[in-house]
Amino acid sequence: MFQEKRPETLIDSNGLRLDGRKLDQLRQIKLEVGILDKANGSAYVEQGKNRILVAVYGPREAHPKHIALPDRAVVRCRYHMAPFSTEERKSPAPSRREMELSKVIREALEPAILSEIYPRTTIDIFIEVLQSDGGSRCAAITGASLALADAGIPMKSLVSACAVGKIGGQIALDLSDLEDKYGEADMPVALMPGFNAITLIQMDGSFTPDEFAKALDMAVESCKQIHEIQKTALKEKYLSIKEEAEEKEESEGSGE
Ligand code: ADP
């Protein structure tokens, strides 16, 4: 059985964390849009060691029909961790945690989706965590909102998410799995940056009121940073389509 070693300290004498980051530093983030052909929209997220794939289908006819709503689309979300996504094999059957995360991720995205435009339909969001290392619900929200945009689903705003926590008595951004396990607190936050509106806030552990204010500011600022990376990822997809179309036009022109 895999035996994890408890780190001696989460912050070294230079104020750096286990992976060399500063307290207010995000992990490396890579976002890609439109990577699955079969889905209406898709995205791939890397945040530190997290590797997450999101596929969006819809709006499409509600099935089974009785779940349809007369005034808006039904948004459904499934967060699933692959059996090989953790150190020890995870059961492929849906766990209580995955059911809870599916619900909170859906609730973090719903305020942004203009679901009233598509009554009697469903919008399905499938999240597959291929590798997890703490903060996977936030990375999943960031990716799901990109996949929704890629599917052409009208939204008020993208949703950007990041967790902030407390390790070694200090507020720290974007906790890894080890920091989450051996730290004192973890607070995932999702934001609609255009509206400065928080759509998810959860808390595991505790903060003093001052720590809470500092942590929330840090999370909101980092969500805004993530929002910029999301916008770049969306633009890159459309620039590559434009380049492809131009190349095609050129080759067709030269073939004449
Ligand atoms: P989040 O990933 O949003 O931080 P949690 O705080 O519940 O959600 O989980 C923290 C981390 O714990 C996950 O990212 C993952 O690395 C690890 N983890 C979660 N569930 C399991 C599991 N069943 N087996 C092993 N590790 C897990």
pLDDT-based confidence at residue 11 (cuts at 50, 70, 90): very high
pLDDT digits (tens, 9 = 90+) for 219-253: 999 999 999 999 999 999 888 888 888 998 888 87
Cα-based angle 29, 205, 85 (whole degrees, multiple of 5):
40
What's the token pair of residue 178?
Answer: 């080890």
Give the residue whose CA is nearest to atom 13 of ligand 1: 134
Report the candidate in 216, 193, 220 with the shortest Cα–Cα distance to residue 203. Answer: 216
Average pLDDT over residues 101-121: 98
Alpha carbons 45 and 25: distance in angstroms, whole number: 18
Alpha carbons 39 and 55: distance in angstroms, whole number: 6
Pocket test for ligand 1, best of 90, 102, 132 (most atoms within 8 A of CB): 132
pLDDT value at residue 3: 62
Which residues line the pocket of ligand 1, CB cutoff 6 A? Answer: 86, 88, 90, 97, 132-137, 177, 180, 188
What's the token pair of residue 167?
Answer: 């390790």
pLDDT-based confidence at residue 2 (cuts at 50, 70, 90): low
